[in-house]
Structure 1
């Protein structure tokens, strides 16, 4: 799980590092611009870098949704104390990659369109009503956050459903919605506690790393010229990106495992999956498969031939 998460986080760290360096260079160029024409020349690349930041965020969210479904495989197998290697995990999840891509695209772009609609409505209200629109936009924004959070938690199990139960995109979303019924607040509480805990751990690691990078920069070049400052900026950015990738890999793998365990817990509560899992453990059936799949659902248990 850590290795798979590290690949995605390393890709994201590289992209974020490149975009960050570009943004800092654009910011320095804007501050040193002496005329309006120079500012206009710099604004184009600056907006392109800003678009790159948004694009990287969307890409990481997209890949995260796909990887969350893949990481459900080792978690489901660990319920029966079955170890899963890197190659075996991707082999078991490989057939479900296309549905995972579909649900990731639907969730990602659906969220973008919904957010764009809210922003568009806010802009129209401010254009038509002026500052008075703030009284409408504020509750609209808060209400939108609540709705996004509610829907997001209702659909958060869809990647795990698609991989474990081998469903399609629509059935995976519908199944996630059904599993989370009457359990939203419990899922919200667990997710909130885990998020806060991982954020604190990440800050404990990243803040000293950032301070150390700045200290090294000041020690090596206390009075740097422009070229030296740019070089040190690249070095510190690389160090920060590496630390962020390592911390992000651990936190993402842990968050994904929590989501997968919530999914298995809800299956046990609603489908009696725990009984089927105990039978699988006793008989040793399907040792190389994913527990909780179609063969382990109530009424469809596959028994070994005698």
Structure 2
């Protein structure tokens, strides 16, 4: 597939089978939002009540306990987000793979196929999360330790420079590793490999195609993030301006318009967030299939599979791992993305 086809294929995936695909993305966004609200709203109500009723002697202890519980409770929406995000990746891989074979699966079928690989997907997502948190903790630890040892201005300036350089190096390393390992979820689902085997497989498939893969991920990310920010922020800004025009004194009308704008902004954020998550997950699956076409002749295998299926001949899974040995010849017409 050409670069242009790859660029727009994730959007066509959403258009081809919108109900189950967008529905899954929406469920993921709603699950994260509901989990966050269910945890933090009651806690904040209780915490504010305790802080307001606390005496001056107990205020510091109450504040410390509140902060500690707040940090602990953030693990709940993070855990929900990890599971939901991993599941969305699995669903989108199944959807893209079935689309190349001309199949259109319903909501239940997509979920059932993805659920079979949810364990390794969650494991991989948690592994990535632990690495990211470890890097963040390392940077914070360097800043805190240096500030405690030598709090003068020159030392602080030196720490800032070191941290900025460290962040730049981590960003470059993260972009490289993120690109090389981007195909791990697709391998886990379609080839039913373990985490270690999927890491090796992703590394192998992206060898020689790093910049192409990196460019696609970056470009699609910029496109969807720009659209998302525009769609969400423009109504929010317009609502703020309208509230000020209708009620410059910030009275009841101002509050009503502000509340309405916040509700609209929240709904738009959930809807647009679902689309963004779906497109980004679908892109990785599309790149995975394209790289297998280029290096292993998967397009020919898919054509043979479809021909045999239409002829009534028993078929096997065409997305299974390629056999060891020389790569299959490439060529032939790629499946259409209609």
CA distance in 1, matches of 2:83, 2:146: 31
Q: Aligned with 1:197: secondary structure?
A: helix
Gaps of 5+ in 1: 300-306
Structure 1 position 215, deviation (Å): 6.6
Aligned with 1:191 (options 217, 220, 225)? 217
Q: Aligned with 1:71: secondary structure?
A: helix
The match for 1:241 is 266
Verify: 1:103 aligned to 2:124, yes or no: yes
Q: Aligned with 2:105: secondary structure?
A: coil
Structure 1 position 9, deviation (Å): 0.4
The match for 2:287 is 262
Gaps of 5+ in 2: 1-20, 325-338
Counterpart contact for 1:158–1:175, Cα < 8 Å: yes
Aligned with 2:98 (options 46, 53, 77)? 77
The match for 1:271 is 296
Matched residues, number: 294
Structure 1 position 242, deviation (Å): 2.0
CA distance in 2, matches of 1:217, 1:235: 10
Greater mean deviation of Cα atoms: 208-217 or 249-258: 208-217
Structure 1 position 252, deviation (Å): 0.8
Q: How does 1:79-228 map to 2 (within 5 A)?
A: 79-128=100-149, 130-131=155-156, 132-211=158-237, 214=240, 222-224=250-252
Verify: 1:252 aligned to 2:277, yes or no: yes
The match for 1:11 is 31
Counterpart contact for 1:66–1:97, Cα < 8 Å: yes
The match for 1:293 is 320
CA distance in 2, matches of 1:254, 1:191: 11
With normalisation by structure 2, the TM-score equals 0.72
Structure 1 position 136, deviation (Å): 2.4
Structure 1 position 94, deviation (Å): 2.3
CA distance in 2, matches of 1:45, 1:235: 30
CA distance in 2, matches of 1:53, 1:44: 14
